[in-house]
């Protein structure tokens, strides 16, 4: 059984057939899904999906692209949502200096505020980092001890080592199957299986052979197959260990 620890089933790409996508995942060896909030409305829809489907859980958060819109009323709504027992994390939160759709100072304020909320609710955090390694680490260190996963890992080997040294988990997406993804495959070889999650980040980053199409949770199997190949182990071992990692991290074991 596989776990997709990061997808966006609330996104409009799934509007035509969302329930069919969810049914394919449930019947296709997907143990559980964590649907990720990246906006206020997305967090609300994520929680609704989790309420309707027993194997879907929600995270509540605001992507750094949303930082310029953030205010105390939005924070209050997020805090209320975070109290629901199907919410297993705060995220995705972090910094994005690639697009810079929001001011850097506002991104930092949002990041700090939602890290504080995670600590108040005793929830782990799902970190978005893009071209912001130094500031991301600086802010995270200020909030240790902290349960964190750096999702869709794209940093360098030094950043990877620092994340692992801090006790964080990392997750990779199906883009590791791309022909030009040698650097990502090298990084995966450096991550102990006990510190790794699987994620699709669907609808984004479908595996090789599906590029140009929509990604979905069932494709997490292709990710597991590639990790198994890189590490020279069986897919079953990847599935079992990464699912165990995610269940412990998100505290899903005691929620069944």
- Average pLDDT of the chain to the nearest whole number: 96
How confident is the model at residue 100, as a pLDDT?
85
How confident is the model at residue 254, as a pLDDT?
42
Token reading at 198: 């699987």
* pLDDT tens digit sequence for 172-205: 999 999 999 999 999 999 999 999 999 999 999 9
Residue by residue, DSSP assigns 200-241 as --TTS-PPTTSTTS---GGGHHHHHHHHHHHHTS-HHHHHHH
Are the C-beta atoms of residues 30 and 70 closer than 8 Å to each other? no
Domains and CATH numbers, the chain: 2-255 (3.20.20.140)
User: Residue 63 — very low, low, confident or very high, per pLDDT cuts 50/70/90?
Assistant: very high
* pLDDT tens digit sequence for 4-56: 999 999 999 999 999 999 999 999 999 999 999 999 999 999 999 999 999 99
**Cα–Cα dist 251/19, whole Å:** 26
Considering the entire predicted model, what is its pTM? 0.96
């Amino acid at each position: 059984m596989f776990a997709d620890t990061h997808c966006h089933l609330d996104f409009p790409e799934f509007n035509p057939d969302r329930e069919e996508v969810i049914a394919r995942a449930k019947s296709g060896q997907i143990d559980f899904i964590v649907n990720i909030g990246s906006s206020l409305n997305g967090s609300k829809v994520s929680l609704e999906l989790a309420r309707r489907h027993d194997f879907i859980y929600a995270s509540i958060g605001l992507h750094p692209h949303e930082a310029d819109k953030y205010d105390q009323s939005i924070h209050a709504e997020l805090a209320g949502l975070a109290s629901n027992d199907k919410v297993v994390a705060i995220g995705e939160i972090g910094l994005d200096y690639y697009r810079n759709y929001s001011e850097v100072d506002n991104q930092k304020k949002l990041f700090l505020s939602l890290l504080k909320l995670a600590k108040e609710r005793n929830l782990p955090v799902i970190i978005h980092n893009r071209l912001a390694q130094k500031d991301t680490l600086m802010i995270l260190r200020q909030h240790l001890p902290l349960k964190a996963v750096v999702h869709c890992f794209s940093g360098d080997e030094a950043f990877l080592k620092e994340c692992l040294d801090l006790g964080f988990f990392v997750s990779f997406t199906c883009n590791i199957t791309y022909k030009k993804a040698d650097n990502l495959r090298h990084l995966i070889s450096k991550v102990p299986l006990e510190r790794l999650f699987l994620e699709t980040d669907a609808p984004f980053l479908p595996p090789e052979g599906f590029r140009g199409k929509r990604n979905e949770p069932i494709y997490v199997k292709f990710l597991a197959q590639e990790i198994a190949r890189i590490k020279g182990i069986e897919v079953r071992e990847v599935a079992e260990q990464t699912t165990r990692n995610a269940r412990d991290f998100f505290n899903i074991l005691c929620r069944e």
